[in-house]
Structure 1
Amino acid sequence: MDYEKLTQVMRRLALEAGDTIMEIYNADDFDVKVKSDESPVTEADEAADALISSGLRAEFPDMTLVTEEQSESHGQTANTFLIVDPLDGTKEFIKRRGDFTVNIAYVENGVPTRGVVYAPAKGRMFLTLADGSAVEEQGPFSKEKMGTARPIRVSDADNGALNVVASKSHRDEATDDYINKYAVADIKSAGSSLKFCLVATGEADLYPRVGRTMEWDTAAGHAVLHGAGGRVVRFDDHSPLTYGKAGFANPFFIAFAPSVDLKSA
């Protein structure tokens, strides 16, 4: 894989998809449908998916592509592949709360090694560079050329006063029970894959997810966190969270800075 090209393509497509999403987001109204799994999908999800998928297939025609909005792609099996959630945080989008992202990632041998997470309503862009390190690019953004980008790194956590981030739409008693095992100074709520990025920048130390997610929800954020020195492990046994699983469904997991003294489930 040409990582320099991959970085440029993923970044450009994320920005183009973000423009499309924001046009619909800022409209007076937009269509919302319900998929077979009872989750919502909007015209923004579908338009962004079409744009990203066609762009990736044009640039990387021989690479397996998995995307949330194309169910026929979910039956594939591969250890190395591109994976896309064109609009992660659809519920936040529908409620016009801004916590939604465009997620594009590259998984190598079951590990997300490159990715981009773009939050167009918040003007925040997180991505991995060709060397695998993670940065946050400062806006305004140009599709032709990357602007100023600052390296990001996970925190040196204070285990007596941890900063935790949890889901805005999926917080439950099981999540709170696990968080209560720690000495917590602050708990933030965030939607979509932004939670991984808050750990990657050191704005949070720990993100536990005790709930259903799919690989397209997590791969890009996982790649950014990995590039910033963070880790993502299974909730049950603390083994690394891997990708390319049958059906692309994730177990419960914990994303964290390695300086956190991780508690058992």
Structure 2
Amino acid sequence: MDFDRLVEEMRSLSIAAGEKIMEIYQSPDFDVRSKSDDSPVTAADEAADRILFAGLTAAFPDTPVVTEEQASTHTQQVTTFLIVDPLDGTKEFIKRRGDFTVNIAYVVDGVPIRGIVYAPAKGRMFYTTATGETVEEHGPFDAGAVGQQTPLRVSDPDNAALLVVASKSHRDQATDDYINRYRVADMKSAGSSLKFCLVAAGEADLYPRLGRTMEWDTAAGHAVLSGAGGKVVRFDNHQPLLYGKPGFENPFFIATSPDVVLEKA
């Protein structure tokens, strides 16, 4: 894989998808439908998916692409592939809360090694560079010109006063019970894959997810966090979270700065 080209394509395609998403987001109204699993889908999900899938398959024809919005891609058995969530945080999009993202990741041997998370309504873009380090680019965003970048690094946490981030739409009692086992100085909520990015930027130390997620929900954020020195581990045994699993479904997991002392499941 040509990583310079990969990062260039991921960045430009994310910007194009984000522009289409914001066009629909800012319209007076948009249709919301339910998929077979009862999760919501909008015209923005589908329009962004068309942009990303067409662009990635054209640029990297020999690399399999898995995308949330195309069930036909979910039956692939792959360990090295591109994986896309064209609009992560559809519930946040529908509620017009802004915490939604465009996500692309490149997975090699089950490990997300490059990725981008773009939050067009928030004006935040996080991605791994060609050499694997994570940066936040500052807008306005132009597909033809890279803006100012800030290198990101996870926090040096104080285990007696942790900063925790949790899901805005999927918070439950099990998550609260787990968080309460830590000494927490501050607690914040965020939607979509932005939670990984807050840990990558040192704005949070710990993000536990005790709920159902799919690999397209997490791979890009996982890559961004890894490039900033963080890690994502399974909740049950604290082993690395791997990708290319049957059905692309994740177990519960914890995204964290590596110096957080994790509580046992």
Q: TM-score, normalised by structure 1?
A: 1.00
Question: Identity of aligned pairs, percent?
Answer: 71
Name the structure 2 match of 1:244. Answer: 244
Equivalent residue, structure 2, for 1:224: 224
- Give the corresponding residue for 1:72: 72
What does residue range 1-265 of structure 1 map to in structure 2 within 5 Å? 1-265=1-265
CA distance in 1, matches of 2:21, 2:142: 17
**For 2:127 and 2:262, how far apart are their aligned partners in 1?**
26
Aligned counterparts of 1:164 and 1:77: Cα–Cα separation in 2: 35
Count of matched residue pairs: 265
**Could you tell me how far apart the structure 2 residues matched to 1:21 and 1:141 are?**
15
Report how far residue 145 of structure 1 moved: 1.9
CA distance in 1, matches of 2:147, 2:28: 32
CA–CA separation in structure 1 for the residues paired with 2:17 and 2:31: 17
CA distance in 2, matches of 1:2, 1:259: 32
Q: Identify unmatched segments of 5+ residues in structure 1.
A: none
- TM-score, normalised to structure 2, is 1.00
In 2, distance between residues paired with 1:145 and 1:216? 27
Cα distance in 2 for partners of 1:236, 1:203 equals: 25
Unaligned runs of 5+ in 2: none
Runs of 4+ in 1 over 2 A off after TM superposition: none
Distance in structure 1 (CA, Å) of the matches to 2:53 and 2:256: 31
Q: CA deviation at 1:185?
A: 0.4
Per-residue CA deviation, residues 8-65 of structure 1 (Å, 9 max, x unaligned), is: 0000000000000000000000011100000000000000000000000110011100
Amino acid at match of 1:78: V
Instruction: Give the secondary structure class of the aligned counterpart of 1:97.
Output: coil
The whole-number CA distance in structure 2 between the counterparts of 1:142 and 1:192 is 23
